[in-house]
Amino acid sequence: MSSPHETQTTEPPGSPPVHWAMERALALAAGTAPHPNPRVGAVVVAPDGSVVAEHAHAGPGTPHAEAAAVGAAGDAARGATVYVTLEPCAHQGKTPPCTEQLMAAEVGAVVIGAADPDPRVNGRGIANLRDAGIEVTMSDATMAERLDPGYFHHRRTGRPRVTLKIAATIDGQVAAADATSQWITSPGARADGHRLRAATDAVLVGAGTLRDDDPELTVRLEGYTGRQPLPVVVAGAQPLPIDRKLYGRDPLIYVPALAGNPPAGATTVSAAGAAEVDLEMMLTDLGRRGVVDLLVEGGPTMAAALLAAGYVDCLIVYLGAKVAGGLGRGMFDARFPTLSAVRDVIITDVRRLGPDLRLDIELGAME
């Protein structure tokens, strides 16, 4: 394969230039869904600057990106530079250590996007390569982490990255007083919400949403053939409805100690608490099950509980082009006692979706 134009970009301001081959590796990985493994792309560049192989990791049990790339390159990998978005692993898992395969291929150098926070790697891959005499250079870790923020969060905390999705009127109402809410937003915004589901590992709702909306929690996009996210329900002390659409999808239901009998066709997990599920226990259990990115579509009660506990990492708000002009149900079932109780956030993106707006918001850790 011939080399693309060698351009460099700077992101964010003040960061070192990113080589075109690393940009290509990032682009290769961007469209993949390998969780609980990380999104990783790799490009093998010969000494003359030509690309001799490239690959992205497809998922658990399949070759890692850099191993597949040097394997495809064959003899052309000798003396080449491998650009890989994440530190190569140095341990035996479902596949052999990538560091050993890079050494066996006799590559000349490895450029790494970010160190791997997984405790089984965490610098060992870099050290092993350097001990073998292979030159290792670090690229811009910000871009590599932005590629798969859920993976980095999961490996650092043991919990999935939690994205809270809310659809509301311009004046912040998510439902009317009679609990009706379909539809506050336009078809374009709702389709965008389905793209969010397609990019996540699991979708969570509370018992109230299950009762009021009977959601399917599936990706319903024209032509979509990818995997469906795991449906997750957080139950309360009251019995859950007997007949709901998602019961046929083997949902994961977290129940407190005083919950009634679970519905048929569901996997039930006790998450302590007498009348309420212990949120930390639930999120830790989801992390153990390989859920890296969690999308929460529950109502105001669930949203308020997760926000108050400090477990919301990202907030995506769809503001429908509607004004309620009265008290229905706000975004959060919680009192706002005083201005000093507010939390500062970072609005990372605002875009129009037909008549509606989408706001992407990052929440820092609670003090």
Query: Can you give the pLDDT at residue 273?
Result: 61
Distance CA 31, CA 48 (A): 29
- Is the domain covering 20-148 a CATH 3.40.140.10 domain? yes
Please give the structure tokens belonging to residue 47.
């000494």
Query: Can you give the pLDDT at residue 261?
Result: 60
> Which residues belong to the active site?
66
Distance CA 45, CA 78 (A): 10
Distance CA 254, CA 233 (A): 6
Query: Can you give the pLDDT at residue 328?
Result: 76
- Pick from 90-94, 138-142, 214-218: least confident: 90-94
The whole-number average pLDDT for the span 286-290 is 94
Please give the structure tokens belonging to residue 252.
């994961």
Distance CA 271, CA 288 (A): 14
The whole-number average pLDDT for the span 281-307 is 92
Residue 83 has φ and ψ, to the nearest 5°, of -100, 120
Please give the structure tokens belonging to residue 27.
């682009």
- Rounded (to 5) percent helix, strand, coil in the chain: 30, 25, 50
Residue 66: pLDDT over 50: yes
- At 308, is the secondary structure helix, strand, or coil? helix
pTM of the model: 0.85
Tens digits of residue pLDDT in 246-267: 888 889 989 886 665 666 666 7
pLDDT tier for residue 18 given thresholds of 50, 70 and 90: low
Query: Can you give the pLDDT at residue 26?
Result: 94
CATH-assigned architecture of domain 158-363: 3-Layer(aba) Sandwich (3.40)
Distance CA 309, CA 347 (A): 21
Give 229-294 as a DSSP string.
PEEEEE--SSPPPS--GGGGG--EEEE-TT--PPPTT-EEEE---SSS--HHHHHHHHHHTT--EE
pLDDT tier for residue 17 given thresholds of 50, 70 and 90: low
Which regions of the chain carry the CATH code 3.40.430.10?
158-363
Query: Can you give the pLDDT at residue 13?
Result: 45
Residue 7: pLDDT over 50: no
Which regions of the chain carry the CATH code 3.40.140.10?
20-148
pLDDT tier for residue 367 given thresholds of 50, 70 and 90: low
Percentage with pLDDT > 90 across the chain: 54
Q: Does 13 or 25 have the greater pLDDT score?
A: 25
